[in-house]
Chains A and B, each alone.
Chain A
């Protein structure tokens, strides 16, 4: 079936919903958090006064280490967690205290959360069933969504007769059939094996682009965030460190935490400023006009087309040089060698000073 048929805006059947669509057509942001705080009692809050605007039709990844508050943020967006302070808007409409179903969000859970006693088809058809849609009609619609995720051939299987990847597809179809304005994904790929993870992530991206709705995806994997995102939100210690388009976050991280967490950057001190330099812009050996740092080669990782060389500096910091394999084999450094890492001053990006950690 043609995906455009399933777009939430193109295919709303009831006239009153068409009116609703008019009201939201001019919205600026798909989702907005305004000074949102979540505390579970006294002590440090789980989410501390964060504000965020997610533009229309974005693939947005919430990225951060475990316990940084990214999952709590997602659950507050979903309406599965109360907001202590602040407001949440979906399509410019305040939903802070609304039920999940009235928000226009749908969540895909880490454990898929399929109903174990229902077939794939009836899992997908569930939201239509509770709205009182007749059996044949809801099964017909559910089958269309199973086709979208290429699961229609296993429509009659129970969840425990499906593989992890297949369960994931059914869960995706079950979320999409509610025609959400925003789809929320809680570490959706973490239970899959690496090969399937990469396959599934390109599929998520494809479906997001074709539906044109926003996906908000929680992950702790930098690769996943970089590969999928239009916009990355890096969180740490209940706060947002940086929220920006993916390229901006990667190339110009605001502080050392973002630079280190995203990877691909060396964080070092130059002229008393803390700066970041991309690892692929660093090279081994001294050159005129370039800044440099001395250290001992601690690790060499051959990655095929690239080689990652880790230097231990005299101060105990670890620096990384990402070389092409041609360069590497030309220089042929060895573990334990004393080496010099150098970079061009124009490749330095000044970071905001931040507390150690």
Chain B
């Protein structure tokens, strides 16, 4: 049997198309519809009500929540980028053999074989009141009572985010760096460039796609996360995503839906902006 090429293409796309429609587009459409509906403590009524949107778009609370979220995004990005770029640079340009490079990459990845809750709980013996860090500080006489802000604080959230998100930065950036031919670096050395000049003039611009993709990882993970905020802050810090979860738990679906749609729009906008710095197709095929 011979199908025409157009039909073949359609058939090939169909499974993904069906899944995407059923699992993404339809639920999204429902969420958008729900955000415009009226509700009370137990039900959602099929009546148009713009109050949820009015609330989301005009209240000071939304601004405050996004301020916290963006603060986390900014701090986490700066630190994971600095760490990720440095580690990737070391792995790609200073580790001589591929075996050792892969071994070190695996060493970064292995802690992530444990599940999220275990890793979250694991911070307590390190950062808690009776934890290792506090005992060390007390023992060295640097403080006379345990430091309270190490755990269940914004600091703890940032530590967990950085721990989680440095790895994707390392991997995406080192992936870009590994594509830089050695001869290009040697040509720059011939031209008299110092190591720092080579990093700034050659490696940084050529690693830009990896940096952009790593940044997408970090931005979407921090913006979409509520689990780390909840466990690491002990429920004391609120972010835009946490607010959605809180309303969902209270069965206030329309305002939660409105906040979700807003969040989705902001994340998509950021990703679209970041994609201008990276050709994902080129990154995947090369």
Q: Which residues of A contact B (CB under 8 A)?
A: 78-80, 99-101, 105-107, 109-111, 113-117, 126-127, 129-131, 174-175, 178
Contact = CB atoms under 8 A, between A and B. Distances in A.
B189 A130 contact: no
Nearest to A111: B183
Given A107-B186, A113-B184, A175-B190, 15 more contacts: A99-B189, A100-B186, A101-B189, A101-B192, A107-B187, A107-B190, A109-B183, A109-B187, A116-B184, A126-B188, A126-B193, A130-B197, A130-B201, A174-B187, A178-B190
Contacts of A131: 192
A77 B187 CA distance: 14
Interface hub of B181, B186, B193, B202 (most chain A Cβ within 10 A): B186
A130 B199 CA distance: 12
Contacts of A178: 190-192
B139 interface: no
Interface in B169-213: 181, 183-184, 186-194, 197, 201-202, 205-206
Contacts of B187: 107, 109, 113-115, 174
7 contacts: A79-B189, A100-B190, A113-B183, A113-B187, A114-B184, A127-B190, A130-B193
B181 A113 contact: yes
Contact of B186 (A109, A130, A174): A109
Interface hub of B189, B205, B206 (most chain A Cβ within 10 A): B189
Contact of A105 (B183, B184, B190, B197): B190
Contacts of B188: 115, 126, 130
A111 B191 contact: no
A80 B186 contact: yes
Interface residues of B, number: 17
Interface hub of A107, A126, A127 (most chain B Cβ within 10 A): A126
Given A126-B201, A129-B201, A130-B197, A113 B186 contact: yes
B187 to A, nearest CB: 4
Interface hub of B184, B188, B191 (most chain A Cβ within 10 A): B191
Contact of B191 (A79, A101, A116): A101
Contacts of A105: 190
A130 B191 contact: yes
Interface in B53-85: none
Contacts of A126: 188, 191, 193, 201
Nearest to B197: A130
Top 4 closest pairs, chain A to chain B, by CB: A127-B191, A113-B183, A101-B192, A113-B187
A100 B190 CA distance: 5
A329 to B, nearest CB: 50
Contacts of B197: 130
A78 to B, nearest CB: 7
Contacts of A109: 183, 186-187
A175 B187 CA distance: 9
Contacts of A110: 183
Contacts of B206: 116-117
A106 B190 contact: yes
Contacts of A174: 187, 191
A130 to B, nearest CB: 4
Nearest to A108: B187
Nearest to B202: A115
B175 to A, nearest CB: 16
B189 A100 contact: yes
A59 B127 CA distance: 68
Interface hub of B181, B186, B192, B202 (most chain A Cβ within 10 A): B192
Nearest to B194: A130
B193 to A, nearest CB: 4
B190 A101 contact: yes
Nearest to B185: A113
Contacts of B201: 115, 126, 129-130
Nearest to A126: B191
A120 B8 CA distance: 44
Contacts of A78: 186, 190
Nearest to A99: B189
Nearest to B193: A130
Interface string B120-147: 0000000000000000000000000000
A80 B202 CA distance: 18
Contacts of A113: 181, 183-184, 186-187
Contact of B192 (A111, A115, A117, A130): A130
Contacts of A111: 181, 183
Nearest to A106: B190
Nearest to B180: A116
A341 B184 CA distance: 53
A101 B201 CA distance: 17
A107 B194 CA distance: 17
Interface in B37-54: none
Nearest to A75: B186
Nearest to A177: B191
A105 B192 CA distance: 11
A115 B184 contact: yes
B244 to A, nearest CB: 41
B130 to A, nearest CB: 52
B208 to A, nearest CB: 8
A79 B192 CA distance: 12
Contacts of B193: 126-127, 130
A127 B192 CA distance: 6
Nearest to A116: B206
Nearest to B206: A117
A115 B203 CA distance: 10
Nearest to A130: B193
A223 B183 CA distance: 26
Interface hub of A107, A111, A115, A129 (most chain B Cβ within 10 A): A115
A114 B183 CA distance: 9
Contacts of B191: 101, 126-127, 130, 174, 178
